[in-house]
Structure 1
Amino acid sequence: MTLQNRIRELRARFQLTQQQLASKVGVTRQTIAAVEKGEYVPSLLLAMNICREFNMSVEEVFQLQGESE
């Protein structure tokens, strides 16, 4: 299973750079870049902080892929 997300799409919609989002949620720009690429799985706290910035639920931003259905 992999964790996919819509952070890049949502940043564009909200006109935020990686650095701006990182500053708002208290991490580095490199962390946001790694999460967007799927190279880093965020902690629950970080995921919730990201979702709060977009005023969306965790399920609307993050999805598990590869689950047997």
Structure 2
Amino acid sequence: MSDTAGTRCGDAQNKFTREMEAEVRSLNAAQCRAQIEQLACRLDAAWTRSVHLASALATLRHPIDDG
């Protein structure tokens, strides 16, 4: 293989490697966003449950006097 052909082959390999690395980074970023969104939903649900539990506990400690 001539030096020119070797250089072109090396350039093509480098370009392909850069493109694949960029694709992996974008996939990783998308996966991270999806995981963050999932965790945010779970955190929101846990927070809502804790608020409801705190309210129920407060009612049990201090029942409403209806009369």
Which TM-score tier does this pair reach, normalised by the shorter chain?
A: under 0.3
Could you say which structure has the higher helix fraction? 2
TM superposition score normalised by structure 1: 0.20
Q: Which has the higher contact order (CA 8 A, sep 6+)?
A: 1
Computing the radius of gyration from Cα coordinates, the structure with the larger value is 2
TM superposition score normalised by structure 2: 0.20
